[in-house]
Structure 1
């Protein structure tokens, strides 16, 4: 009997661009892209209309792709309070939609996500995008960066959620790549 994949919806919250990415992750930690996109709202709209657009977009992704769990980027303090407020509002909407569908939701910090997918918690956006393309066997990195970040969140959550399948490596693919490179360098 084959163990089913875990379907994770990753959400990179933002008011203007809210990245959404859905992946299926097998017990051996291999992953497959299901959906990637961005929910957009115009800065010219009133805040309540913008939040409604984000909620409707996330609801549509959940309804169509039926994830098992939702992973959202944890809001952290930035220098720009206006930006933090919009991100926090979009994050709240994402968590609310997960609750509306009865889905488990989790939050992950940007450094957790970067470390999970690249092996380095301070990786830049280009490194995250390149690794996401590699891990999901895509021809090119997902654009814009919000979309790649959403996929990274989904992968991070699946890999950090619990133990891998029996006999599978407990390391994430990024950690395995680093370990393999270190072994090769020592030879």
Structure 2
């Protein structure tokens, strides 16, 4: 399954394409950021973003598209630009009869890190880990787009135990069935367990 993730933004629009196998192992196909100048008229900026998205759609031919769901922010101007770019992305996908998934930032964070309140640094680190990249994709918009694509491919109904584990905790609780976790959540658990095992015994005893 090939998924195009779009982190909508008028100045920077993150683009990420991943292939995800039947074992849910993601592989990087493409990552980039479409940029537009604030000095340009709004309609020209939207046209540049539309052309960039359409070029990626035509070159990489994804099976589906994942877009970050727009939500209210204090900065109305920012959310308006985000909403306008989201509309451009949805239109481009609809023209190609591609299914679209809308995901909130907390849903993406939970799928990628196992924690719905993870910061951008944690998300970027886990994106690099699951895609086996030598470095975190830059800027953050690029990593966010890849996270969206991975989240969309991995998105499955989670049991109440998993849902509870991703609220207010950076790791799954012991009662969570490992078979219900995404590969990234398993990687997060393994990384934290490895960090605990590496600590000196006198520190663990505190």
TM-score (norm 1): 0.89
Q: Residues 130-178 of structure 1: CA distance to partner in whole angstroms, max 9, x if unpaired?
A: 1111110111000000000000000000000579xxxxx4421122235
Structure 2 unaligned blocks of 5 or more: 159-178, 198-206
Partner of 1:74: 69
Larger Rg: 2
Q: Residues 62-120 of structure 1: CA distance to partner in whole angstroms, max 9, x if unpaired?
A: 00000000000001111000000000000110111000111001100000001100111
Alpha-carbon distance between aligned partners in 2 of 1:56 and 1:182, rounded to the nearest angstrom = 42
1:142 aligned to 2:137?
Answer: yes
Residue correspondence of structure 1 range 1-187 to structure 2 within 5 A = 6-160=1-155, 169-180=179-190
How many residue pairs were aligned? 177
Structure 1 unaligned blocks of 5 or more: 1-5, 164-168
**Secondary structure in 1 matching 2:38:** coil
Alpha-carbon distance between aligned partners in 2 of 1:121 and 1:38, rounded to the nearest angstrom = 24
Q: Residues 16-60 of structure 1: CA distance to partner in whole angstroms, max 9, x if unpaired?
A: 000000000011111100000001111111111000000000000
RMSD: 2.0
Structure 2 CA distance for partners of 1:181 and 1:58, relative to 1, 3 Å:
closer
**Secondary structure in 2 matching 1:29:** coil
Structure 2 CA distance for partners of 1:181 and 1:133, relative to 1, 3 Å:
closer
Structure 2 CA distance for partners of 1:45 and 1:161, relative to 1, 3 Å:
farther
Moved >2 Å (runs of 4+): 177-186
**Secondary structure in 2 matching 1:111:** helix
Alpha-carbon distance between aligned partners in 2 of 1:147 and 1:183, rounded to the nearest angstrom = 29
Alpha-carbon distance between aligned partners in 2 of 1:63 and 1:162, rounded to the nearest angstrom = 31
Alpha-carbon distance between aligned partners in 2 of 1:47 and 1:182, rounded to the nearest angstrom = 45
TM-score (norm 2): 0.81
Structure 2 CA distance for partners of 1:8 and 1:81, relative to 1, 3 Å:
same
